[in-house]
Amino acid sequence: MSQAAEFIERRKSNRRQERPSDRFISNLTKNTVAIILAGGRGSRLKNLTDWRAKPAVQFGGKFRIIDFPLSNCINSGIRRINVATQYKAQSLIQHVQRGWGFFRGEFNEYVHLIPAQQRL
């Protein structure tokens, strides 16, 4: 093996050793519970929100508005998330259940949906 190839191989092995295996997440962050308020009617988005809640409106063809605060929580290390729903929540509930159901209950990780209560 040439000197250049040996040098490159040593650099690669040093980089592997320098990388931390896991990102540091403090105990405070691990014990944090997030509450996302996702009950918007979206009156200014009338054509888009006639049949669904504002957080369930598609964004960029692939995502929904609710995906942004959920991914912010995940990237911040918060794994206990409550989503409070209100207006026409069915499509939002379906999206969250299908797309965000990968949390592990045995590690106390969850995304709970909290629907609004109605009184007669």
Interatomic CA distance for residues 66 and 40, integer angstroms: 11
- State the average pLDDT over residues 92-107: 83
Give the pLDDT of residue 1. Answer: 62
Overall average pLDDT of the 41-62 stretch:
82
**Domain ranges within the chain, ordered by starting residue:** 25-114
Task: Please check whether residue 99 is in contact with residue 91, taking contact to mean a CB–CB distance below 8 angstroms.
Answer: no
Question: What superfamily would CATH give domain 25-114?
Answer: Spore Coat Polysaccharide Biosynthesis Protein SpsA; Chain A (3.90.550.10)
CA–CA gap between residue 37 and residue 17 (Å, rounded): 42
Given a contact cutoff of 8 angstroms between Cβ atoms, the answer to whether 94 and 83 are in contact is no
Query: The whole model's pTM is what?
Result: 0.71
Query: What pLDDT is stored for residue 7 in this prediction?
Result: 67
Residue 117 pLDDT more than 70?
yes
In contact, 55 and 18? CB cutoff 8 Å: no
